[in-house]
Amino acid sequence: MIAFDFPAVLAEWPLLVKGVGATLVLTAISASVGVTLGVACAWARVHGPAWLKPIVGAYVELIRNTPFIVQLFFLFFGLPGIGVRLSPELASVLAMVVNLGAYAAEIVRAGIATTPKGQIEAAQSLALTEMQVFTRVVLPPALKRVWPALVSQIIIVMLGSAVCGQISVPELQQAVNLISSRNFRSFEAYFIGTLLYLPMAIALRRLLNWAGPRFIFGR
């Protein structure tokens, strides 16, 4: 007969709270920088100089076709081989930014591509500069169109951050691992840890769906 001992895990709640906090902080930083990078890459692929397009295209395809854990290990374990040493936290944020940037670039590009030509022509005829046309006319409705996909991708990146525990970043997965090595209640610890991610994902989706129209692209 198997006896479960969930209270033993819940007794370590300060660790869990810290883990949730760290995961959210990692996600917040990576999401804001990553989406910005994605927008920049989308701009580069559609309107950028000719030499930049293939570079951005290669970056997007390379990231989208390799696992996040390999990207993270390359940054954390691989780069010191050529003398670049990153802290676990910095490597994690960088990996998440680079990862989200590539996916966001594809998503935002799809939004930009569907901008009606007349709107751009109208903006040009009002003597807006190329940059103004992009940031004020093309981008806001494009972001609005692809916002649900972008939100899903940010959530995927948050869930992916569980892997950062592997390079000893003290986020939720790492906290769960620590708890299970303290009291040997591995199943219970991972059960609770896994279930903690679920409300985080749901809350993050709600928050972004709420914040998007208000602060990012306007209603």
Partner 1 sequence: MVDFSIWDIFRNLLLAARWTVLLSLIAFVGGGLVGLALLIVRIAKLRGAETLISAYVQLFQGTPLLMQLFLAYFGVGLFVNVSSWISVTLALTLYTSAFLTEIWRGCVASVHKGQWEASAALALNLREQLRYVIGPQALRVAVPPTVGFLVQVIKGTALASVIGFVELTKAGTMITNATFRPFTVYACLALMYFALCYPISAWSKSLESKLHGHR
Residues that bind partner 1 (CB under 8 A): 2, 61-62, 64-71, 73-74, 77-82, 155, 159-163, 166, 173, 176, 180, 186-187, 190-191, 193-195, 197-198, 201-202
Query: Please, which residue, 18 or 205, has the CB nearer to partner 1?
Result: 205
- Residues present in the chain in total: 219
Query: Please, which residue, 23 or 115, has the CB nearer to partner 1?
Result: 23
Query: Please, which residue, 50 or 82, has the CB nearer to partner 1?
Result: 82
Structure token digits, residue 199: 């409300």
Q: Is the dihedral of CA 162, 166, 170, 175 positive or negative?
A: positive
CB of 37 to partner 1, least distance (A): 19
Query: Please, which residue, 109 or 139, has the CB nearer to partner 1?
Result: 109
Tell me how far apart the alpha carbons of residues 158 and 214 are, in angstroms, rounded to a whole number.
22
| Closest by CA position to 146, among listed 99, 114, 98, 102 | 114
Write out the H or E segment, with its range, that includes residue 186. Answer: helix 186-211
CB of 212 to partner 1, least distance (A): 19
